[in-house]
Structure 1
Amino acid sequence: MTNELSCIIVDDDYLDRLSVETELNNLDCLRLIGSFDNATEAAEAINRHKPDVLFLDVDMPEISGLELFKSVSEYAPLCVIISSYPDYALQSFELKVFDYILKPLTTERFGETVKRLCDFVDIKEKAKAYTTLIENEKVIFKEGHNIVYLNISDILYLEAFGDYTKVVTSNKNYLTLATLGGFLEELPSEKFARIHRSYAVAKEQIRQIGNATVGVGNIKLPIGKTYRSTLSQIRP
């Protein structure tokens, strides 16, 4: 990613707002341009400056964080909800928020979200240079003027980034302009398993299956509740 991302915080709780501000002060890739205790003032600043990222509380007086996001979503900012209430998560993801963090905010959890944010923006910046084909057990990536032939057997796992998919190998990551579900449809179905709304793994690369995670190489990936049954027939 070549440039830092501008962001705005909206939370009616001063200490929660300060917590996010403190985390942002320790990061180089995000630049805070405004912090507000109400959605009305925030909406004016958002429409004026069009920040790349919004960090929003949900439960606020007069206008909720989700209502605020809907009102400014036309220019497609990335939105991270930081809330004390898990009940709004489903509605938030239906509105295509980028992530949903439960309070109290921790440095580790916030750092994970920021890394995914930066990776996603990096993918979007590079995606126009990539063309992907799949044939004869190979994924063919066109990177500008270069053509890369990747054996399907070299893929460790796939990670969803909205309309894009990151293809992860032990040596390098690649990009494809396809949703995770769409990309999986092009791959041999017997070789991959969807384990989470954001992840699919190569079955032969699985080293360990736990109650909540799947081990692939040195990486542990989360298992989504609705995908547990797909792993019952797999033996690492």
Structure 2
Amino acid sequence: MNCLIVDDNKMARTAMNQLASHVAHLHIAGECSSAMEAYNLLQEEKIDLLLLDIEMPGMSGLELTRNLGKKRPVIIFTTVNKDYAVEAFELNVADYLIKPVSPARFIQAIEKAREILDSNSGELQVSETEFVFIRDNGVLKRIRTEEILFMEAMGDYVKLYTAQKFHAIHTTLKALEEKLSPSRFMRVHRSYIVALDKIEIIEDGNIIIQKNAIPVADTYKAALNNKLNLL
């Protein structure tokens, strides 16, 4: 697994190098002191994994990740700042390490990266978001997208339903629609988004998901039929 260390702090790069030197099959292909330097190198060389700092002069690690798009290496953020965790995981990175990093925690992150590489043949599919963070009573909670049944717009809030309960989130359906995978979720009404794999029955213009009836607007019916591969 070819790895690139990106950090503006030389001591931090040295520390990552030392951790990586004890992990079998992890090869350090190079080091970069800026995100722009890393961006240029990635255009020329095949890198499987980025150990990427977030706060750097010029372009940040978050900005680099966005600029790399869907075809990018697996990314593990390495930072001293916990404040970027939600934003980082929304970018579907493999892990988020707080410096200084212990050897055990480093190995755990590398194994996550290895699993992603094995399952995606070396490409991280950014659109297939596995989880979302929501703010519930002032606390950030992570919800796996496979747990979501459907979402309902309620004024300035969206009610996100799982099998156990619903969460009221101060956001819009449009914002959620942009973050979730279109292969798994679809808007079927101006007030509803459903998880396609949770649909049980469609009858009388309604989708039934665990006894909940969700209306399907006429403007979405043709697109829904195409998504469901009707025979």
Q: Structure 2-normalised TM-score? A: 0.52
In the alignment, what sits opposite 2:204? none
Structure 2: stretches of 5+ with no match in the other structure = 122-127, 131-143, 150-162, 165-231
In the alignment, what sits opposite 1:29? 25
Counterpart Cα distance in 2 of 1:42 and 1:163: 24
Contact (CA 8 Å) 1:14, 1:37: kept in 2 or not?
A: yes
* Corresponding letter in the other structure for 1:119: E
* Corresponding letter in the other structure for 1:34: G
| CA 1:88–1:163: 2 relative to 1, 3 Å | closer
* Corresponding letter in the other structure for 1:98: A
Structure 1: stretches of 5+ with no match in the other structure = 126-161, 165-179, 191-236
Counterpart Cα distance in 1 of 2:129 and 2:83: 26
C-alpha RMSD of the superposition: 2.5
Report the 3-state secondary structure (helix = DSSP H, G, I; strand = E; otherwise coil) of the residue aligned with 2:63: helix
Cα deviation, residue 101, structure 1: 0.6
Q: Does 1:17 align with 2:13?
A: yes
Q: Does 1:100 align with 2:96?
A: yes
Deviations 1:85-132 (A, max 9, x none): 00011111111111111111111110111112222323335xxxxxxx
Cα deviation, residue 69, structure 1: 1.4
Q: Which residues of 2 match residues 102-121 of structure 1 at below 5 A?
A: 102-121=98-117
* Corresponding letter in the other structure for 2:101: L
Contact (CA 8 Å) 1:39, 1:64: kept in 2 or not?
A: yes
In the alignment, what sits opposite 2:222? none
In the alignment, what sits opposite 2:182? none
Counterpart Cα distance in 1 of 2:90 and 2:15: 27
Find 1:182's aligned residue among 146, 149, 158: 146
Deviations 1:25-72 (A, max 9, x none): 112222211101112221111121131111111111111111111112
In the alignment, what sits opposite 1:65? 61
Number of residue pairs the alignment of both structures matches: 134
Q: Which residues of 2 match residues 118-129 of structure 1 at below 5 A?
A: 118-125=114-121
| CA 1:40–1:184: 2 relative to 1, 3 Å | closer
Cα deviation, residue 78, structure 1: 0.8
| CA 1:182–1:39: 2 relative to 1, 3 Å | closer
Cα deviation, residue 182, structure 1: 3.4
Question: Which one has the largest radius of gyration?
Answer: 2
Cα deviation, residue 163, structure 1: 6.7
In the alignment, what sits opposite 1:203? none
Counterpart Cα distance in 1 of 2:45 and 2:69: 13
Deviations 1:149-208 (A, max 9, x none): xxxxxxxxxxxxx678xxxxxxxxxxxxxxx643898xxx79xxxxxxxxxxxxxxxxxx
In the alignment, what sits opposite 2:2? 6
In the alignment, what sits opposite 2:41? 45
| CA 1:120–1:42: 2 relative to 1, 3 Å | closer
Counterpart Cα distance in 2 of 1:122 and 1:74: 17
Counterpart Cα distance in 2 of 1:183 and 1:124: 22
* Runs of 4+ that moved beyond 6 A: none
Counterpart Cα distance in 2 of 1:62 and 1:71: 14
Counterpart Cα distance in 1 of 2:13 and 2:120: 29
